[in-house]
């Protein structure tokens, strides 16, 4: 039977020891979880040779239908019904998307979302090329105006 701490210093030491132990256990559990998720993700990714093959698969069709149902079969941006696409907000989890990685959009909104994603990606790439790994520090009005000017020259000259 463990002895009950008698003074505040002993109590604080016991709390500190337990806190450290819990933090280490939590860190280990998180690592095991992430390792399992990464292994599952790698297995899923290795099942497909291309995005096109994935988009024809039962896994994607099921996920697409689930997202359409979740959105009430209407564009999540403008509310239109009819021909709808399931748009990837990003491709970080391609082949193993979460519902929060996807958005239901009509064709017009999907085109705009793709253009916006490409623009953001180009802007990030521009800043990274110009400023290196700490490019995120420079995302301000002047850099954005400079980028827009650069984009205009690339597209029209």
* pLDDT tens, residue by residue, 117-153: 888 888 888 888 888 888 777 667 788 788 888 777 7
- Are residue 35 and residue 63 in the same domain, yes or no? no
In this structure, are residues 37 and 29 in contact, taking their beta carbons and an 8 Å threshold?
A: no
Q: State which residues form the domain around 30.
A: 10-46
The single residue listed with the structure tokens 């793709």 is 114
Q: Give backbone dihedrals phi and psi of 84, rounded to 5 degrees, phi first.
A: -125, 145
Q: Do 56 and 71 fall within a single domain?
A: yes
- The total of structural domains in the chain comes to 2
Is residue 4 a part of any domain in this protein? no
Do both 65 and 109 map to the same domain? Answer: yes
pLDDT at residue 35, as a whole number:
65
Residues 38 and 71 placed together within one structural domain of the fold: no
What is the pTM assigned to this prediction?
0.58
31 and 67 within one domain: no
Q: Residue 14's pLDDT band (boundaries 50, 70, 90)?
A: low
For residues 84 and 76, give the distance between their C-alpha atoms in angstroms, rounded to a whole number.
Answer: 10
* 66 within some domain: yes
């Amino acid at each position: 039977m463990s002895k009950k701490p008698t003074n505040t210093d002993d109590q604080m030491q016991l709390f500190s020891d337990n806190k450290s132990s819990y933090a280490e256990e939590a860190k280990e559990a998180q690592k095991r979880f992430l390792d399992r998720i990464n292994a599952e993700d790698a297995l899923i990714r290795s099942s497909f040779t291309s995005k096109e093959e994935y988009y024809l698969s039962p896994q994607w069709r099921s996920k697409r239908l689930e997202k359409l149902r979740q959105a009430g079969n209407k564009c999540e941006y403008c509310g239109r019904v009819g021909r709808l696409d399931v748009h990837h907000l990003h491709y970080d989890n391609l082949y193993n998307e979460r519902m929060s990685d996807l958005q239901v959009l009509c064709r017009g909104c999907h085109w705009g979302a793709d253009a916006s994603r490409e623009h953001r990606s180009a802007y990030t790439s521009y800043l990274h090329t110009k400023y290196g790994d700490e490019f995120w520090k420079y995302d301000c009005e002047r850099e954005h105006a400079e980028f827009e000017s650069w984009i205009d020259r690339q597209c029209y000259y």
